[in-house]
Amino acid sequence: MAHNINYNSQTGMYSFFSVKEKAWHGLGQIVEQYPTSSEAIRHAGLDYEVAKSPLYTKASGIIQTAGGIEVGSTELAVPDCFATIRTDSNAVLGVVGKDYQIVQNREAFSFFDAIVGGGDGILYETAGALGQGERIFITAKLPDYIRVGNGDDVTEKYIFLTTSHDGSGSITAAFTPIRIVCQNTLNASLRSMSNVVRIRHTSGAKQRLDDAHKVMGLADRLSNQLEGIFNEWAKVKVTDTQVKKLIQLALCPNTETLALIRKGAEDEVSTVFKNTVDDAFAYAMASESQQMETTKGTLFGAYNGVTGYYQNVRKYKDSEAKLQSIVMGGTAQGKAQKAFELCTAFQADGAQILNLN
């Protein structure tokens, strides 16, 4: 399977670590104890600095010299353009503008330490670098859990952060709950709030990164609300037919397919869509994690049928593609949000939302 984890030829190590679990594709460092932020930086090979360097181009033309006129070239500075460079390897990571503010890897970790008061209670679980080191990511587990039902169905609370050194995208921190029993990422944004905070790489980025303890408040509020919502969903009974219809609507790729579903012309939908729905429905009905009191025949189980399909059934090109789809605003995250909204509407309006009799 392909991977894009950074390999540091100077240290002979891959830039990735995880706690107690097998690292991506067997690469990277596995540690037994949760590290401090400074230890995590070293374990993940993120202990490098990034600097901005002016860009130059060569211009050919006629040059006046002491010996006469010659044809040659001269270096010209490219206005307001800089290369971002790793100072340990001189690898060029990207091209940025004059207002781009580098956020060093250690500053990304200090973000986590700051939001929970000096690192007390936060557990760094994975971190790594992709490509030449132009993108880094960190996942950290927060104290406490989201509990559904009698307490056996437990979801751990994580914050995921990713940032780049190549000028592509913002610093992104997201609250990401993961259901332990099946390692299922339960992405959900409520109507009143997003689960993501984005910070631009501009002159104020460092200050805003320091002030991003609001993410912790967001995580607290979201987790409390989600715990209440999930516990209510675990009490709402749904039929197999309703589960399949909800999955169809959540995974629907376009308006044409939606129209066919609405009028009951399921035989006319594409084979790819039909197979996707069948796979998600099979997971929702038969997987071991769906046979718990909280999920079997419940609305919470229907929601997990969609999110669990993308987490545990769907095939991806590689682990980075899976990460992008599930956590970084990709298809799986969008479908999970759609499923969340449908389940919310179903709880309020019953079968009407599914257009069922």
Structure confidence by residue, pLDDT tens digits, 122-147: 788 888 888 889 988 888 888 888 89
E-assigned strand segments in the chain: 7-8, 13-14, 16-19, 29-31, 50-65, 68-86, 92-97, 123-130, 135-148, 153-164, 171-179, 184-185, 196-199
Q: Mark whether 218 and 309 lie in a shared domain.
A: no
pTM (two decimals): 0.80
* Residue 305 located in a structural domain: yes
Q: Give the span between the Cα atoms of 101 and 201, in whole angstroms.
A: 5
Give the structural domain span for 316.
234-354
* Residue 41 located in a structural domain: yes
Q: Give the span between the Cα atoms of 238 and 221, in whole angstroms.
A: 28
Q: Mark whether 200 and 244 lie in a shared domain.
A: no
Q: Considering 196, 230, 264, which residue would you say is the last residue of a domain? A: 230
Bridging pattern class, strands 68-86 and 92-97: antiparallel
Separation in Å, CA 324 to CA 61, 196, 353: 47, 14, 30
Separation in Å, CA 237 to CA 52, 248, 294, 308, 339: 58, 18, 10, 19, 16
pLDDT at residue 77, rounded to an integer: 74
* Residue 1 located in a structural domain: no
Per-residue pLDDT band for 357 (boundaries 50, 70, 90) equals very low
* Residue 266 located in a structural domain: yes
Domain count, the chain: 3
